């Protein structure tokens, strides 16, 4: 097994031989990644993966190779109009769809989409003429190739491609005297199954995929102790009963569709009720590890003499970024219980490299940099979210990365990136390599929620060599809220109402990301997943 130092040395040696081609660099990193760390064995017979398309549902049986689950590529793309070209001699397969191309390479942990490299969770394989690809990496390749939304939900073992309708489910609780009410409300009609067991009530929602905006809540009063969403294939909501519980009744209502659970307390004295209401929530068993409070560092872009972009009405990017970051700190603390730090809490200069250093020092789980966009065209509009890559998604993304920092990472292909700078780019990218999948997922969730909540339109999730993201030892993303150079969006950016919508969208995006992260951990046998700390 190679050590991390040996991997960096090996890939660096490839770069020093002259500017490597994409194929050469892909092969070098692919070979290196193949030898990083021992894997965890999975079950030899995993459950089928449900593939949801627009109006279609398929079940595909994956195969297990080491610690990875792989899907037969032909079963995934069947009927989608994708052209397949096999190059057996090169050990590669190229997929073509509407002039877009994507390639997998046998025994390599990298794929190419439109010339951009994408890190896979495990190598693709060519066995007996059949291509096998890691299930959790399918969205990173087929999504951009098809120009469709794609997502892997490990907890429910569902892979989506395209505009698949997903019911949204919320959970609210009410505690009043001898009664606790738990309301499970859905955006559309879904089946609810309720089973009362000893010490708990289990609610399942047997749909392939639902979006649940709830994690857990502890209640006082002794009737219900804990309401917790556990997920899984049946989308389980678990209600832990307290010592005062006597009986429950459940009924469904329409407009909107919802399940109402009412938990009644046993008759008791006024003194006992008072004692129960003031009793702290149950503690974890002796010796059990207490859940660690998650930490996020929010970076308000620019500051001090670096004003960032300026709107035609005089609004400064640095002021908008700080205002939104402060509101976001409060919302994340109140809504998700995060421990939140700002890289700057006032109008001051702060070097780009020090911003991620703050996140690393706090051993943050997430790093988010807040900005407002700008363009020479006053008609440019919409939000976009970036994660780090040494190659930009397009020329506009490369320009954005340069504009957001005078000492931004030099773009691949420029004279500044030759020689030693080329190796620096590789090492920067590798510093984020293990977080690439999570950074992409975080950026995607935030972008989706911004699009839904703000109404300013969306420009998608992109990659670029933003210097402010370089060196972050955790999943990281940079959010361009809207175009301050657009007079209409400048007015929105200065509005408390719009800023509130932005904050709400980001909180919801992070909540979705957290929920999916927890379900992925559960699907791996409860293994604890968290970002590496320096």
| pLDDT score recorded for residue 523 | 53
Residue 288 lies in a domain: no
> Is residue 323 in some structural domain?
yes
The domain that holds 312 is classified in CATH as 3.40.630.40
Number of domains into which the chain is organized? 4
Shared-domain flag, residues 109 and 248? no
Three state DSSP letters for 101-125: EEEEEECCCEEEECCEEEECCCCEE
CATH number of the domain encompassing residue 109:
3.30.457.10
Banded pLDDT at 437 (limits 50, 70, 90): confident
User: Within 13 A of 260's CA, how many CA atoms are on the CB side?
Assistant: 13
pLDDT tops 50 at residue 95: yes
Residues 325 and 376 in one domain: yes
Same-domain pairing of 463 and 443: yes
Signed CA dihedral, 110, 113, 117, 120: sign only: negative
> Per the domain annotation, does 494 fall within a domain?
yes
**pLDDT tens per residue, range 283-325:** 544 444 445 578 999 999 999 999 999 999 999 999 999 999 9
- Domain-terminating residue out of 245, 278, 311: 278
**Confidence grade of residue 335 (pLDDT, cut at 50, 70, 90):** confident
Residue 303 has a pLDDT of 93
**One domain, residues 151 and 176:** no
Most confident of 41-50, 69-78, 220-229, 379-388: 69-78
In a domain, 284, yes or no: no
Q: Give the end of a domain, one of 161, 195, 219.
A: 161
Q: Is residue 529 part of a domain?
A: no
Q: Is the peptide bond before 390 cis (omega within 30 degrees of 0)?
A: no
Shared-domain flag, residues 513 and 400: yes
What pLDDT does residue 410 have?
Answer: 41
Identify whether residues 271 and 389 lie together within a single domain: no
Same domain, 103 and 185: no
Are residue 368 and residue 472 in the same domain, yes or no? yes
CB distance 453 to 511 below 8 Å: no
Q: Is the CB of residue 372 less than 8 Å from the CB of residue 317?
A: yes
Q: How many CB atoms lie within 10 A of CB 88?
A: 10
Q: Is the pLDDT of residue 360 over 80?
A: yes
When pLDDT is averaged across residues 490-499 and rounded to a whole number, the result is 92
In a domain, 300, yes or no: yes
Q: Which residues pair with 483 in a beta bridge?
A: 373
Task: Name the band, by pLDDT with cuts 50, 70 and 90, for residue 145.
Answer: very high
At 426 the pLDDT is: 52
Residue 399, domain member (yes or no): yes
Please indicate, yes or no, if residue 287 is contained in any of the structural domains: no
| pLDDT tens digits, one per residue of 234-274 | 999 999 999 999 999 999 998 789 999 999 987 655 554 45
Mark whether 64 and 121 lie in a shared domain: yes
* CATH number of the domain to which 183 belongs: 2.60.40.3500
Residue 22 lies in domain:
1-38
Same domain as 317, residue 431: yes
Residue where a domain stops, chosen among 161, 190, 222: 161
The reported pLDDT for the residue numbered 376 is 81
Distance, CA of 12 to CA of 426 (rounded, Å): 7
- What local confidence, expressed as pLDDT, does residue 275 receive? 54
* 348 and 412 both lie in a single domain: yes
Residue that is written with structure tokens 């010339």 in the block: 115
d(CA 433, CA 490): 35
| Residues 192 and 208 grouped into a single domain | yes
């Amino acid at each position: 097994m190679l050590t991390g130092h040996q991997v960096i040395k090996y890939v660096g040696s490839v770069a020093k031989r002259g500017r490597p081609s994409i194929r050469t660099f892909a092969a070098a990193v692919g070979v290196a990644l193949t030898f990083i760390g021992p894997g965890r064995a999975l079950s030899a017979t995993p459950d089928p993966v449900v593939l949801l398309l627009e109006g279609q549902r398929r079940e595909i049986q994956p195969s297990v190779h080491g610690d990875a689950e792989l899907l037969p590529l032909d079963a995934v793309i069947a009927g989608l109009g994708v052209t397949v070209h096999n190059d057996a001699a090169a050990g590669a397969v190229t997929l073509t769809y509407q002039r877009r191309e994507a390639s997998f390479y046998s025994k390599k942990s990298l794929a190419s989409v439109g010339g951009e490299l994408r890190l896979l969770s495990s190598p693709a394989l060519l066995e007996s003429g059949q291509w096998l690809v890691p299930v959790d990496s399918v969205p990173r390749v087929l999504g951009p190739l098809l120009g469709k939304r794609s997502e892997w939900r490990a907890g429910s073992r569902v892979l989506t491609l395209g505009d698949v309708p997903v019911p949204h489910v919320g959970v609210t609780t009410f505690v009043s005297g001898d009664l606790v009410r738990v309301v499970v409300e859905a955006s559309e009609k879904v089946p609810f199954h309720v089973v009362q067991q000893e010490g708990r009530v289990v609610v399942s929602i047997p749909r392939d995929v639902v979006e649940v905006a709830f994690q857990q809540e502890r209640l006082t009063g002794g009737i219900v102790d804990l309401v917790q969403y556990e997920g899984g294939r049946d989308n389980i909501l678990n209600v832990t009963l307290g010592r005062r519980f006597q009986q429950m009744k459940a009924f469904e209502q329409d407009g909107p569709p919802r399940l109402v659970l009412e938990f009644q307390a046993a008759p008791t004295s006024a003194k006992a009720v008072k004692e129960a209401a003031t009793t702290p929530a149950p503690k974890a068993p002796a010796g059990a590890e207490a859940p660690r409070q998650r930490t996020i560092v929010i970076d308000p872009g620019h500051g001090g003499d670096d004003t960032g972009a300026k709107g035609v009405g005089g609004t400064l990017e640095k002021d908008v970024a700080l205002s939104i970051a402060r509101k976001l700190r409060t919302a994340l603390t109140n809504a998700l219980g995060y421990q939140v730090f700002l890289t700057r809490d006032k109008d001051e200069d702060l070097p780009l490299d020090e911003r991620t250093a703050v996140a690393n020092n706090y051993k943050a789980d997430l790093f988010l940099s807040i900005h407002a966009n700008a363009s020479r065209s006053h008609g440019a509009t919409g939000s976009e979210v970036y994660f780090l890559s040494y190659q930009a998604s397009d020329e506009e993304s490369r320009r954005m990365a340069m504009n957001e920092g005078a000492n931004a990472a030099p773009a691949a292909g420029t004279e500044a990136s030759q020689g030693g700078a080329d190796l620096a780019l590789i090492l920067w990218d590798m510093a984020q390599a293990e977080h690439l999948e999570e950074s992409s997922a975080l950026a995607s969730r935030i972008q989706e929620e911004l699009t839904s909540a703000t109404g300013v339109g969306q420009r998608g999730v992109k990659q670029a060599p933003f210097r402010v993201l370089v060196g972050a030892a955790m999943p990281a993303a940079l959010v361009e809220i809207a175009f301050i150079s657009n007079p209409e969006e400048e007015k929105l950016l200065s509005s408390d109402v719009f800023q509130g919508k932005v904050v709400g969208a980001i909180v919801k995006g992070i909540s979705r990301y957290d929920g999916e992260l927890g379900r992925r951990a559960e699907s791996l046998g409860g293994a604890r997943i968290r970002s590496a700390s320096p």
